[in-house]
Amino acid sequence: METKTIIVTGSSRGIGKAIASHFLKLGHNVVVNGRKELPSDLLDYFNSFEGTAYPITGDISEPGFAKQLIKETKKQFKKIDVLVNNAGITRDNLIIRMSDEEFDSTLNINLKGTFYTTKEVAKVMLKQRSGHIINLSSVVGVVGNVGQSNYAASKAGVIGLTKSIAKELAPRGVMVNAIAPGFIESDMTESLTDEVKEKALESVPLKRLGKAEEVAEMVHFISTQSYITGQVFHVDGGMVMNG
C-alpha cells in the first residue's frame, strides 16, 4: 500500500484526534496540529501506531500559519495527499446576546482558517495534479440551531467554500468535499445532563450519538475516491432529515 501524507488541523481531541489516529493505524504520515503544543502523552498515543505522526503547532486563524504548515509538510514528506480542515470552535449565544467577538472568533477559525489552509494547499495539489481537501462542516450549517447562529453561519460557509473550490480545482484532478457530522460523542456532549441528551436524541432517527471514529471512517472513504467532488456527506444518524 502507498504511504500517504495527511494533514489534520485541530487534532488534539474529538473528531480530529479520531481522524489522525485512523490514518496512523493504516500506516500513513499524519501532520497533527493544535493551537498549543500537543501534550506528550497524546504524541505517545499517536506514535503507538504504525504511521508517523508529525506535529506542527499553530493557530489556523493566523494568516501566516497556513503557509508555514503547508511548507513544512511539503518539506518533510515531499507531497500532500489529503488536507482535513477539522479545527473548529463553538461560542454559543442567542443572537440578541451575541457579541462581535463571539461571532468573529467563530468565523475566523471555522471559515477563514479553512480558507487560509485550502489556499496554500491548493497551490501544492494543483502542481501535483492530485489531492483531496476534506472540510468538516456540521448538520447545524445545514438546518440551523438555536444559540449557534455564528457556528451555523461558519459551517454553512464551509459548504459554499467547498463547492466553489471543488469547481475551481476539478480541472487538475483535485477533489474537495465536506462532511456534516451530527451529534457526535465528545467532551462537549459528555458534560450534558441526561435530560438534555435525551431531548437531543429525539431528533436523531438512529437514536444514539455518533462516534468520532464513524466520522473518521467517512474521511478515509472520501480520501480513497477518484470520482467524487463538491459533495456534502451527512454522518448524523439521519438527523438532517428532521431538519
* DSSP-derived pairing of the beta strands 5-8 and 29-32: parallel
Which residues are registered as beta bridge partners of 175? Answer: 132
43 counts as binding another protein under rule CB under 8 A: no
User: Which grid cell is 70?
Assistant: 503547508
171 counts as binding another protein under rule CB under 8 A: yes
By beta-carbon proximity to another protein, the closer residue of 126 and 200 is 126
For the bound state, the minimum distance from the C-beta of residue 119 to another protein, rounded and expressed in Å, comes to 10
By beta-carbon proximity to another protein, the closer residue of 123 and 208 is 123
For the bound state, the minimum distance from the C-beta of residue 223 to another protein, rounded and expressed in Å, comes to 23
By beta-carbon proximity to another protein, the closer residue of 123 and 199 is 123
**Segment 123 to 152, residues that bind another protein, using CB under 8 A:** 123, 126-127
Active site residues: 151
172 counts as binding another protein under rule CB under 8 A: yes
**Which DSSP category does 241 fall into?**
G
Q: Do 84 and 9 touch, CB atoms closer than 8 A?
A: yes
User: What per-residue string of b and e applies to 225-234 under the rule 16 or more CB within 10 Å gives b?
Assistant: eeeebbebbb
75 counts as binding another protein under rule CB under 8 A: no
For the bound state, the minimum distance from the C-beta of residue 171 to another protein, rounded and expressed in Å, comes to 6
- CA 113, 114, 117, 119 dihedral sign is negative
Q: Do 50 and 76 touch, CB atoms closer than 8 A?
A: no
CA distance 209 to 186: 10
**Segment 108 to 127, residues that bind another protein, using CB under 8 A:** 123, 126-127
79 counts as binding another protein under rule CB under 8 A: no
Nearest Cα to 177, choosing from 124, 111, 229?
A: 229
By beta-carbon proximity to another protein, the closer residue of 117 and 154 is 117
Interface ranges with another protein (CB under 8 A): 123, 126-127, 168, 171-172
